[in-house]
Each structure stands twice: as structure tokens, then as C-alpha cells.
Amino acid sequence: GTVFWGLANKCVISNSFILDDPDLKDIDPTVLKHCHAAAATCILEAGKQKADLSAISTCLEDCKLDKERIEQFCTEYQKNKDALEILLGSIGRSPLHITDVSWRLEYQIKNNQLHKTYQPSYLVTLNVENNDSRSHPDVSFSCTMEQLQDLVGKLKDAAKSLERATQM
């Protein structure tokens, strides 16, 4: 029925399973699976190519869908377009992503090898997120004040370049 298109759209985004849906229990599961796969492919392809609504309509017209269903599909598609794009954009490999940083400042006084060391020392932990697995191997390192200044200076250079690049 017409409700199907909205559901199919939702399924792509939320991964819920159509066969469990009580509204669709009268439909042959094989047909249902075929329809779901076709709709999912259509939605994902449209999302991947960033197809506009007129392109989608033309495509669906070629598939001999009636006007009402096409309209319904397009409305649902429009509603979920942003979520779909985020989903598709997050697929793929990329380096570990830094999400946050924590730091600790300590003052070193002495150790078993050396007395009167008297120098500040920072412990920096970069919180890191992995794209394709759930493990988050944080990156920790210690640095002196000069080293931290060096690090911040370089990050600021990068931020400045970024700002300049966005103004172009």
C-alpha cells in the first residue's frame, strides 16, 4: 500500500525490520523483501548522487509508479534527506578522529634519579574516536610548557589557515 514507501524510507534510516511490521503482515514476505530492497536501493542511490526531487520523480515515473505514490515518496524522502546524508557521509575509512582533549598540570619536584627537578609538566590526553569500530584508544603524552606552546602554536596556525581557506 501507500504506507509502504514511508516505511521503507524509515527502514533505511533506522534499520528496523519490515517483516515484523503488523501493517504488512498480509503481504507475501518474498514480495515484501524484494520491494524493500528495491526501495532501499532507490533511496540510497538517490542519496549518494544527491539527486533532486525532479530527478527522483522522473526515475519513479519510468518505473511506472502512479503520481500519488511518487509524491508520497518524495515527501518522505525530503523529510529524511539530511539524516540520510549524514549516514552516508559517515561510511568509509578515515584516520582516528579527535573529539576532545583533557589535560593535567603537575610540578615535578624530584625523582629517584634526580632531585630539585622543579619544572612544570603537562599530561595531555586526546580523546579519539574510531570510524569503523567502537574502540576508543585515547592518545596520551606528556609535554613541557615549551612543548605545549609549540603544539598550541601549530594548532593555531592550522586554525588560521582554515579560516583563510573558508573566506576564499
Partner 1 sequence: MQYYLKGKLNIGIDTIQHAVEGLAYLLTESSKLMISEVDFQDSIHVLGFSDELNKSLLQLYLDNRKEIRSILGELAPRLPSYHSLEWRLEVQLASRSLRQQIKPAVTMKLHLNQNEDQSAQVLQTDPATLLHLIQQLEQALGEMKMNHCRRIVRNMK
Q: If binding is defined by CB under 8 A, does position 107 make contact with partner 1?
A: yes
Interface region with partner 1, contact rule CB under 8 A, candidates 27-35, 62-70, 75-83, 117-125:
117-125
Length of the chain, in residues: 168
Does 152 interact with partner 1 (rule: CB under 8 A)?
yes
Q: According to CB under 8 A, which residues from 1 to 40 bind partner 1? A: none
> What sign has the CA pseudo-torsion 66, 68, 69, 70?
positive
Q: Which residues face 122 on adjacent strands?
A: 105, 143
Provide, rounded to whole angstroms, the least separation between the CB of residue 63 and partner 1.
Answer: 22
- Of 3 and 162, nearer to partner 1 (C-beta) is 162
| Separation in Å, CA 80 to CA 39, 44, 104 | 14, 11, 43
- Return the residue of 52, 61, 66, 85 that touches partner 1, per CB under 8 A: 85
Sign of CA dihedral 13, 19, 24, 29: positive
Phi, psi for residue 114 in degrees, rounded to 5:
-145, 130
Minimal distance, residue 90 CB to partner 1, in Å: 9
Is the CB of 31 or the CB of 165 nearer to partner 1? 165
Considering only the stretches 7-15, 23-31, 55-63, 84-92, report the one whose residues sit in contact with partner 1 under the rule CB under 8 A.
Answer: 84-92
Angle, vertex CA 153, rays to CA 149 and CA 158, nearest 5 = 150
What minimum distance in Å lies between the beta carbon of 111 and partner 1?
5
Site for partner 1 in 119-138 (CB under 8 A): 120, 122-124, 126, 128
CA dist., res. 42 & res. 45, Å (int):
5
Q: Please, what sign has the CA dihedral across residues 161, 165, 167, 168?
A: positive
Give Dmax over CA atoms of the chain in angstroms. Answer: 84
Residues binding partner 1 (CB under 8 A) = 47-50, 85, 88-89, 91-92, 94-103, 105, 107, 109, 111-118, 120, 122-124, 126, 128, 139-143, 145, 147-152, 154-159, 161-162, 165-166
